[in-house]
Structure formats: structure tokens, C-alpha cells
Chain A
Amino acid sequence: MDGMREHEQHDHIDGQHDRNEPAGDAKPHESPMDLATVRAKLQSKTGKQYWRTLEELAGDPQFAELLHREFPRQAPSEWDDSVDRRDFLKLMAASLAFAGLSGCGRTPEQYVVPYVKQPEGMVLGKPQFYATVMPFGADAIGLLVESHEGRPTKIEGNPDHPSSLGATNVFAQASVLNLYDPDRAQTVSKFGEIQTWSLFVDNAQAIAAEMKVARAGFRILTGIVTSPALAAQIQSLLTLFPQAKWHQWEPAVGDGTREGAKLAFGSYLNTVYRPEKADVILSLDSDFLGSGPGHIRYAREFSRRRKLNGPNDTMNRLYVVEPTPSVTGATADHRLPLRASEVELFARALAARLGLGGSAAIPPDAEKWLDAVAKDLQEHKGASLVVAGEPQPAEVHALAHAINATLGNVGTTLYYTEPVEAHPANHLESLRELCTDIDAGRVETLLILGGNPVYNAPHDFDFASKIKFDEKKNRKPVKNTIHVSSHFDETSELCDWHVAESHYLETWGDARAFDGTLGVIQPLIAPLYHTHSAREALAAFGDKPGVSDYEVLRDRLKAAYPSADFEKFWRKSLNDGVVAGSAFPPVNAALKFNVSSLAAAKTTPADDIEFLFRPDPCVYDGRFANNGWLQELPKPVTKLTWDNAALISPKTAEKLQLAHNVAWRGGEHGKIYSNVIDIALSNSKVTAAAWRLPGQADGVVVLPLGYGRKKAGYTGTNKGFNAYAVRTSDALWTAAAPSSAIKKTGDDYPLACTQYHFSMEGRQILATGTLEDYRKNPNFANEHAEAPPKELSLYKGEAEFPYDRDKWAMAIDLNKCNGCNACVVACQSENNIPVVGKDQVMRGREMHWIRIDRYYEKAKSATNDPSSYDESLFNPPTFFQPVPCQQCENAPCEQVCPVGATAHSAEGLNDMTYNRCIGTRYCSNNCPYKVRRFNFLRFQDWETPQLKLLRNPEVTVRSRGVMEKCTYCVQRINNARIESEKLNAPIRDGAIVTACQQACPTEAIIFGNANDQESRVAKLKAQQRNYSLLGELNSRPRTTYLAAVRNPNPELESA
């Protein structure tokens, strides 16, 4: 144990070399402090002195900084470590491991530390699952969280929750890492100095007292709030201080959705879609399958209509009009790249075509497309659906409402409800008002709940100046500023007070889902640090300070859902994670909107460039910047990690002479150098790496938000470029500028791209076809790659291994997969997969056990390099293929392993035994699918205590020098088998759900027993669409794929 403590200390010392902390409160010339010196300082002192010393320390900026780097990094940067004591510790650790593994060395004593009083209903060694919800924008995702001895370790979807239906997305999966993020703020602080919570409460009460007198100047700034409890609390404060105001700013959610409804119906309304009921769907720049409220459910419903059991089944049809490829666009049967501004024109033109009046000129090549879509929609009145995208302006949403109305879709494929948001408002105006009020000196106290406005407010608002000390006037624009957030970030720096906010897994609360369903947030663990929830922070200003979330929540529910037996209701709600029957009923919305009355649309001059601001698929608006899992997650379409890049269509890039070149180290699977460009927009400038993105509309540059954080923590700071820096209030989503706004700097920037090569080289990798093809020839997927006959075997006549009990197998329906990545993060979380850092990804060493390959069909072949423009890259059909270990029966990897570290189990699993592996990497060389991952360095972080809490105890934590790979979640298989064996009952189908399958929103991944003819997997494998990847190699994979079938409109196909 002592050794361990020693160990940590070294880390803190080394920490300084590793961590590139922004030059914050640490004074460079002073030698920084470490825990040892702190202890030294304290040891000598006793009693009063002791506390005084502590005060001094607290006053010492270095101590603050020390606390800041209290915990070492999350993504090990083995590479740039200098030789330091840790290396030698590692060496020792290695030799210890050697001893432990080989049984040739004596390992030190270990201790068992039992509970003093064991909690009710806990069985040691058995995980428990609790229902909760994760609030996210105008939605809340229902979750079941796995907990081992009180540590939440894994997030799973809650089947009873409408927005989850058992599935999750990357953010939900990764949120558990946020809980254990070593860089989280851990205490209340004032001007960066540690304070106690009670001090804060006193201060808050003092402020409240002033307010009561001054009766003015109290402002609350939040993001979208769907929590009735929180809203009620804010309301009560607003009543307490009548002059107080509630402002909202959600940087990555457009006002278009809200304002569109207002424009169409005269009041804010919430739209709920029913993709399952729609035969024809048109998306107007909407990524409704990949992001936005309810997208997990929508993806599930949509995929149900992509299900094919045989050639006679039917499919829905999806048209997508969008400026930049999204997972929705990649799933589409027809995709039309248009510039963002042209999407509105297209909407108007469509409205006109459907007889709603108005008119608009659209690009000629879109005309034919428009005809086909209009026709298709009309033919499917009541069974069609038009979805407008969040970044689109109100007009487009209004038009979508109007079109859906004329097509009679309202009530069938979509319906309207009261707003889910507790306080719907135009966020841009709300924030603008706040800023003007501050300038006018009308704001005394500003309470910022969550969010990070200094980083993500429109830069023309210059929010920093609104709260920063003003040298010229020699005063603070706002007297009291309080920031409540999980990290001490850009905003916290400038606020007087910072309250470390608890993670949603640490608090009580509630949140509404996209359809109004109320979910209950229940804590799985007591706050790890001295953190508090936004609700508590609010309460500190109210008349009941110190009231607990728990009471607040229960009171609120008592009031809202009066029932005879509240405890029963309470328990049920906790157990289900949702309050039964709390979903909003549909309201009938009368369309108060006349298309022809619309003002002329804003258009962009033809040769101008459109700059689009879009939330990043991995770090969203920047709130996940410090999450290693998401940083290292390849973005669905670009496959970039650890950076954002200015996305440019190949043609435009050609015009601007922007190129990539492939680095020699890592190469196509890792490191790509791309030209760096300066982007000058609205008298501000940002420098970004340019990335050619096939399928992007020409003349469009996408600037993904959420990167370039200056104070995000070890993992997230100074990654990528900050697109907010050129995002202004007048062009929140689309900014137009002449192409001269883009200047090549002449530099190159290395980007970590996990899959640069996007052509299948004419190989039978990802079988695709159209519905007609499929009906004509249901077996099309198997025609090019049959396994050779067994007679050809060297061992023909030899008895084969029977696998007559359970024969685990997986089927992946490429027709459903939309490349959303949920499975990748789920796998990473379930299997203790390390984060390796950008440098190692660039060397082609990322560790994901399941990867999602992205191929462009028909893209020109050869050693194709997007640097050379090619027409086939204008709008290539895009397909995704999740590739886990194929669990081959004739596994090439096993035959070549010299020590038998990888061998077949009796059930035909391709077992990987880490402790036997010596790391020759021969198996990986011989694996045709390249799904094996190797610990080239010590990627696992063995020091950081929080990350130890995160680990799944059911899975070995791999150290340096061993191979690893997908195991079909063998830990889940074993546990299920053991349980079934105790009952002497067979394992029923569905009893084992792999992590990837569990997370998949579209049910594309099915796992089960292939010997059980009734199992879902056996049925899928029985289909003719089912094929083996590289079957001709006779590796006999247990994982097979179902060919992707698209359902194009014959009229458009013919052309």
C-alpha cells in the first residue's frame, strides 16, 4: 500500500513534465509544489498551527495548481515521456508482472478489505443495475447503469425508456468516463482558491439578501432545461426576486427548430417523429438518425423499416438533402449535396411543387431530383415524412411543418406536443439580452449553471469581457459571478466563484425525454469529490438553502403526480427510470402559416464559400473535450480522431489547391499531413487543417465546433481549432464569404485518421445492392467469394471439431448499420480498452476491438488519394461496416501462435489468453481482417486511482506487450453460462447480449447460438443476404454480414 502511495507521488512530480497546463495560476519561476512538500509542511505543525498552515497553503496559488494536477493524465502519452523514474517503476512493474505471470517470482502480500456493514441486497462479486437518465439538450436518454461494489462501470440503454429502447449513443456510453475524469473540478473555489461549501452558501445568502433590497440585477444563465424540478426551482427564485431573469444559451442547438414551430403554429411546439410509420422520408439537412432529440429511437424505428427477411419484404425510402455528409446522409437511398442556403430553396421549391405556393430557383441538376421526391411524397400521403435539420433556419422548419400538413402526415408519421423544454425561448436573443443588460450595468449577480459561454458564445458578443475585470473602468462589469460546472474551464477562470458540479451519476434529479416522458435521475455513487448539483447551487440563493436534491425531487413528484401510495409510485419510478404515463399527449396544432407570405430567402452568391458550424460528432459542443474515449473515437464519416478539421469538398479543395499527403509512419492507417489554412470571417481569424471530404457539397466548408479548448483538462486542452472564434451571432450556422477568406499558410498539420483508404479495390468486402438486384438475385452477396470445398484440405478425412453444444455466432446487418459508433465506445467501456493518445493513433496503434470501416462505393480505385480530385468523389454512396474479431473456425491467427496463447474454446470462441501471450504479433500479421490489437507500449494507466474505479472487474486489464482482440464479450457469455448451468437449463436466446449489440440503436448486431435454429442469429444467418467476409480464404468466420440493400427510386436510378 505504501509502495502505491510512493508511486502516485512520483507521478505528481512527473506530472509536471507531461501536463501542458495553460499558464494559469502557476508562477513559472517558483519551483512547483508536490504532495510530498505539502505533507512536509503540514507534518511539523499541530492543532491551530496546522489549520493556519492549511490556510496559507490554500492561499498559495501553487497549491491550487497542485490540486489541479492532483491526478495524472487520462491518455498516456508514453511517447513524449522523458526517461524518468516512472520508466524504472515500469521496468520494475514489468519484472513483477513477469514474476506474477510466470509463477517464477514471489509477489507481495495482498489484503482483503471487507465491508464493516455490508449494504442491503448487495452480493459481493455480482454487478447491480440501476435505472437513471442522462439529460442531454432537449432530450434525456434512459439508462441502466452497471455497478460493481458501488462503482458505476458501464452504461447501458433502458428498454423501458422511450428515447433509448435499450440502446444508447456515444455520449451516453462515454459519460461514465466523465464521472471518473481526473481533471474534474473537485471543490468550491473563489478566484481559484479552495473554499468550503458552507462559505459559498453564506455568500449566496448574503447576495440573496442584497437582492431582496435592491430587487434587481439577478440573472441565471442555463442551457436547455428539461428538468421540471430544476425549472420549478428557478421559477421560485424568479418569484423571490421579481426583477431576476432566466437566460438560456445552448450553443449547438439551433433556434430554427423552436422558431420554426412558432412561425408555423404561432407558439412553441415540440415535434415527435414516427419514422417507423413512414414509407418515404425526406431529410432537409437533418441528421435525425445521428443526433438531436430522440435520434436513438428514430434510428431504431427507421431501421425496423430497413429489415429484410426475404426478397419479398419492402423497405422505406430515405431522401437526404444536405451540405455535408452525416450518418443519415450515408444511410440515404438518395442523397443530394446542396449548400446549406440551397436547402431552404429546395424546401421552398418542394412546397411550391406540392401546391403550397411560393417559389424558388434551385440548381438545375436538383430539379429532376425534386420532381422525383415530390412525386414519391405525394404517392405516399400520410405515410411520408419531411424532417428539417436543427441548423436550418426557422423558415425551413415552418416549410417542413406545412409540407407534412399537406401530405397528411401529422398524426401518423409525426405529432406535436407541448414543448419539452421547461422554458423554451430564442437562445440567441436570450444571450444577446443578457449581454446588453450587462453592458448597461443592469446585472448585479450572474449565476451560470453549466455551460461555458466564455468559450462558446458568439464571438461578437465577447462574453469574456462581460465578466472579466475591466482595467479601463477599473471595475467588474458584473459584481458577483458564479459558475457551476464539472470542470474548471474557460468560464470558471473568469468567474469569482466556481462550484464544482456533480456528475449526473452522483445526483438526484429528473429530466424530460424528447416526447415529454419524465425520467428520474438517481445517483449510483456518492459524489467522488466536494461537488454539488446545479439544483443545490440554486437552492443556496433560495429561502431554503441546503435543501437536498432528494427532497426537492420527491416534493416535486408528490406535487406533480399525486397518488394514494407515493412510496409505491416512487419505488416504481426509480425502478423503471421513467414516471409511468408522463409522456406528453399529442396536441393538434393549427397551421397559422402561409408559404407565399415568406420573405425572400437569404442566398449565398454562387462563387462565395459557405462556412457551416456544426457540433462535432465526438466532442459535441466541446463539453466532451476532455473525454479520452470520445477524442480517440474515429468520427463516423471522416475517421479523424483527436482533432477537428475544416471539411472541404474535393472539388473546392482542388480549386484552392489544398492537398493531403500520406505520412510514411502510420500512413493510410494513421497519419495524414494536410494543408493548414487561415480562415478569416467577420474580422476574426482561425487557423485550421483542411480535410477533403468526398460527398460534401461544393463551395461548402464545415467548421466542427467543440475543439480548440484552452482549459478543458489534460486530454482536451489545445486539441484541434476553435471554430467558435469565427462564429458570430448574425451567422450562427452558416456564414458566407468569398473564397479569398481562405488562405493557405503553407504549413502542414498531421491528422490522426484511422482509415484513409476508402475504396474496396473491387474486392468482396462490403456487399451492396439495390432492392431490385436483391429481388432478381437474392444470393448476390455470395457470388464472388465462396469458401473452397473441404476436399481441398490437407487434412481432409480428419474428424472436424463438432461444436455441438452452444455455437456462438454474430450476424451484422449492414442494411441497418448507420455507423453511429455507439458500439465502439460501448466495447471500449466494457472491455477496459485503453486510450493511446494522438501520437500512437498516428502510428496506427489505436486499440478499438471493434472498428467501423467506411467505404465509398464506385470511388475510383488504385492507391486512391483524395488529393487528386475525381468526379466519383462528388457524391459517392457511403457504407459502414463494423468489424470485430470474426471468430474464424479455421483461425489463421491460432495456427501461427508459437505458445498457444490464442486457441479455440470448445464452443468455437477464438480465445485470446493474455497471460500466455509473449507478443510476437504473428497472429496479427496472419489475421486477414486485421482486428487484433497490440499493446506496443504500456497503454493502460495503472496509476490514476479514478481510472481504477472505472475498470470492469470482469475483464483482465492488459499490460504492455500482449495482443488483444474482441472476445464476443466472453465474460458475459461465461456469466450467463454459469447461471444457466446452476439451473441445468440451456442458455435461452437473448440471455447473452454483447456490449456492441446492446448499445446498437439499429439492432444491426445480433449475437447468439447458431446451433439453436430458433435463435435470431441463426435465422439471420439462414438468409441469402448473409455472407462471410473474405469467405474465399476458408477461415469460416463465426461473424457474418448481411448485405446492404438500398431502395433507390427507379426514376432517379434510370438517369
Chain B
Amino acid sequence: MSAGQPPFDAPEIRRLTPVIGPGHTYGSVTDKISAIVLTRPTSLGWFVGFSIAFSLMGLMTVAIGWLVIKGVGIWGINIPIGWGFAIVNFVWWIGIGHAGTLISAILFLLNQKWRTSINRFAEAMTLFAVACAGIFPLIHTGRPWMAFYMFPYPSTMGLWPQFRSPLIWDVFAVSTYGTVSLMFWFVGLIPDLATLRDRSVRKPLKIIYGMLSMGWRGSARHWHRYQSAYLLLAGLATPLVLSVHSVISFDFSIAIVPGWHTTIFPPYFVAGAIYSGFAMVLTIAIPLRKAYGLEDFITMRHLDNMAKVMLATGLIVAYGYFFEFFLSLYSGNKFDVFLVQQRLHGPYAPFYYALILCNILTPQLLWSFKMRHNVVILFIMSIVVNIGMWLERFVIVVISLTRDFVPSAWGRYSPTFWDWATFIGTIGMFVTLLFLFVRVLPAISIAEMRELVAETSEDDK
């Protein structure tokens, strides 16, 4: 907890808890945020953290290289469990990505002021998460060098992708999602890049930021079109973010495997995605505001709101679990019923219980105001939820495959060293990119903060 925070006990103060610290002017926000990138010296902590993350990323490249040499057989997958860690991680990462788009798009449409100070790095997080996710569908194929068969191009064979397959839907959904998120993020960055261009003293920096900002000069006419474009993007990103994880969930719900083939998946995958996404935003925001002293911009109000969103989505997820459970039993489908029993009594039961603990029981603490306002608790909670959501995907992907229709074909799955190496490696990649991001780009949207200053000052009058 940083100093200078008002005490949070009296409800009226709670209501007035601002989304931006008191006494800020256009200049001060500009200085404070751009300073992180331009003037502030790179701390030792940054280097240490970065090098750790980077070496993990190195581990990933080794793992992938070995994979290309030997084949996916170096993983724990087998028949019947054709999908293991790769798909679990893929779904997990994509899910994490969702919070960014959601914060920047949906909250923008809902005109939620408090999004302003977190949307920038939330969007960055989205991009990096999608990048990590994108690796897995590619390398999990038996012949990654042939993966381009999945793209519609005029081949010498006169063949096209098979558009009935959810995997093709994935290809389009994920690539669209990546592109749109990137554009959304970049458009938001343009004015800030201009700021950096104008405030940086060193010529090379001026040139680089100058090129990136494309000569933005804050013309009223530009702002005019810029705003409508940004609004439209937000409007488009909102259905997109909902569709993407629905499509991901089709990978399972379209299939006939017991435990996969259920209609509840799309909504509860989306909810789960936002759930894990917000958890990840918290995981990043809490250390970030501490490290760079941004408590004024990322206030307890933000953390509190995010915690509430987590609680809400967590409850939707809980409902999803329950409904899935109920449907299986209610359907009377002997395969589904059996699978439910397997989750409770089968060899992988501990994972299911751990999942319930992480995703449903622990988050209930968030009902308490005190908990929501204890940064440490929030941080731990966010990590717990991330683990929980990973377990959810593991339970869905693996347990379902271990016990399907023909008992003679039942098997088991356990990850190999290379499964872990690839997974941890992507985490390394994610963190590496984050470190670079906070170092070279404003982690908070300066322009929007100025708007906020303007509005708050109006409020004062």
C-alpha cells in the first residue's frame, strides 16, 4: 500500500474515491507518465526481471526447435488423448487476452471513466496473450511446416480449407482478433506517440516516435474523425471479443466427445475468459503501479472495480459448471453421466476439486470490502484464479478425452518435460514483451488522462 491513500472505511469517502489522484493538471499527468519512458533511468529490477523472463523465452525456443526435429511425440499426448497441454494453454492464453479488449471496448462504450488508466496496458496484454496463444495451434500440428494448408490460398492442388471445421473458424477468429486488437491499440497510441515525439530530447527518439505518430498534430479535424473511428472500433471489438471465445468453445462443443458436446460452453467460456483476463490485469497492474508509483492513476477504485468484475464473472462461471453438471445428469445420456462421475471419482478428480476451489470458493472472499481493498490479497487471488482457469481448460480437454465412448480405448495423459518447457516458455515470452512495453511506450493513455483531468476539473467547478 502506498502512502497518501485516504483511509477506506467511511462509505461516503468510498463513493468519492476518485479514478485519478487529486491535484493533477494536463502538464503533470503528461510529465509523470511520459517520464517513465523518457527520463526515468531503467532500474536494476527491470533488468533482472527482463533477463529472467527472456531466458524462459529462450527455453521456449529450444522446446519448439526440438519439437520440429523430433515431432509432437515428445509431448505426453497419445491416442485417445490427442490434445494435451498445447490446446489447454492455447485456450488459456486466448482467454486472458479478452480482458484487454473488454476493458478498452465495452467499458468505453459504457463510458466507464475508470477504464482510462488501465486500458492501455490491458490492450498490450491482450496482444501479447494472443501472440502466446497463436504459437500453440501452429506447433501442435504434426507437420507445422504444412500449417499453411489451413489458410485459403490458391494451391496447386485446387484444394481449399474445410470450412465446417471449428479449427478453421479458430484461424479466422484468432487472426481477426489479433489484427483488430493491434489496430485498436495503435490508434489509441497515436496521440501519445506524438507527445513522446514532442517531449523527447534525443534526436533518434524524436525520429522514431515521430515516424510512429505519423505526424499527429492534434488538429481538431483529426480529433473529429479519430473519435468516430475509435468509437466504431470499440463497437466492433465488443461483438468480436464475445465471438472469439465462443468460437474457441466450438472446438469442443461442436465435437461429440462427452464432456465437450454441450451448449453451455459459449457463454461460460466467454465469462471464463473475462474472469481470467481480469485476474491477469490485476496480476500485472498491482506490481506495475507499485513499481512506477502510479497509485494516483491506478487507484483503489480501479482495483475494487476489477475485483467486482472478477466476482461477477466468477459467479457466471460457477453457474456454468453447475449447469454443465446438471445438463449431463438431466440429459440421462449415459456417456455424459459417466463422465460427470469420472470428474468426481475418476483418476483426475483432484484436478476437478482444485478447480472448484480456485474458481468458485476462493473468489467468494471478494464479497468482502476489506478483501477487495487489500492489495496483497487481491494479488494472490488473481493468481489463484489464473491457475483455476488453467485447470478448467485441463479438466475439459484432458479428462473428457481419457474416458470417452469405447472403454477399451480409455487411456491417461501426463505432460512431459517438453510440455512444461513450452508452457513456461510462453509465460516467459509474455512477461518479456510486457517488460519491453512498459519501457518504451506509455503504459497509461496520456491523452485520455488529460480528458479525465479536464472532466474532473469541470466536476470541481
Contacts and interface: CB of A to CB of B under 8 A. Distances in A.
B406 interface: yes
B406 A897 contact: no
Contacts of B342: 863
Interface stretch (A198-206, A330-338, A525-533, A663-671): A663-671
Interface string B104-145: 000000000000000000000000000000000000111101
Contacts of A662: 347, 412
Interface in A865-888: 881, 883
A855 B408 CA distance: 8
B204 interface: no
B286 interface: no
A961 interface: yes
Contacts of B79: 669, 844-845, 924, 930, 932-934
A669 B150 contact: no
B74 to A, nearest CB: 8
B409 to A, nearest CB: 4
A667 B140 CA distance: 22
Contacts of A669: 78-80, 409-412
A103 B167 CA distance: 24
A900 B159 contact: yes
A262 interface: no
A937 to B, nearest CB: 4
A561 interface: no
A898 B167 contact: yes
Interface string B410-424: 111110100000000
B141 A920 contact: yes
A895 B412 contact: no
A95 B376 CA distance: 51
B452 interface: no
Interface string A757-772: 1011111010000000
B407 interface: yes
Most B C-beta atoms less than 10 A away, residue of A90, A845, A921? A921
A898 B76 CA distance: 23
B409 A78 contact: no
A960 B145 CA distance: 12
Max chain A CB contacts within 10 Å: which of B76, B82, B165?
B82
B93 to A, nearest CB: 18
Nearest to A928: B405
B73 A937 contact: yes
A101 interface: yes
Contact of A918 (B76, B78, B141, B406): B141
A921 B412 contact: no
A845 B73 contact: yes
B83 A925 contact: yes
B411 A928 contact: no
Contact of B142 (A668, A755, A762, A935): A935
B69 to A, nearest CB: 5
A78 B70 contact: yes
A763 B407 contact: yes
Nearest to A923: B82
A129 interface: no
Contacts of B76: 665, 843
A936 interface: yes
B144 to A, nearest CB: 8
Contacts of A87: 69-70
Contact of A897 (B71, B145, B165, B335): B165
Interface string B313-355: 0000000000000000000001100100010011100000000
A755 B408 contact: yes
Contacts of A934: 79, 82, 142
B406 A853 contact: yes
B356 interface: no
B77 interface: yes
B156 A103 contact: yes
A760 B149 CA distance: 40
Contacts of B159: 899-900, 916
B142 A918 contact: yes
A90 B71 CA distance: 10
Interface string B151-168: 000001101111011111
A961 B142 contact: yes
Interface string A85-105: 001101100110010011100
Interface stretch (B20-28, B249-257, B441-449): B249-257
B60 to A, nearest CB: 18
A435 B120 CA distance: 90
A922 B165 contact: yes
A101 B146 contact: yes
A929 interface: yes
B72 interface: yes
A90 B69 contact: yes
Contacts of B150: 898-899, 918
Contact of B255 (A855, A926, A932, A935): A926
B161 A667 contact: no
Contact of B71 (A101, A881, A930, A937): A937
A759 B147 CA distance: 40
Nearest to A960: B71
B408 A892 contact: no
A917 interface: yes
Contacts of B338: 761
29 contacts: A78-B71, A79-B73, A88-B69, A101-B146, A665-B78, A665-B412, A665-B414, A667-B413, A757-B408, A843-B73, A844-B78, A853-B406, A855-B408, A883-B406, A895-B165, A898-B162, A898-B168, A917-B143, A921-B77, A921-B83, A922-B165, A925-B80, A928-B405, A929-B405, A930-B404, A930-B406, A938-B71, A961-B143, A1033-B405
Given A87-B70, A91-B69, A934-B142, 6 more contacts: A90-B70, A98-B143, A665-B413, A853-B408, A895-B254, A897-B165
Which 9 A/B pairs are nearest by Cβ-Cβ distance? A919-B142, A667-B412, A961-B142, A936-B73, A669-B411, A921-B82, A937-B73, A844-B78, A930-B409
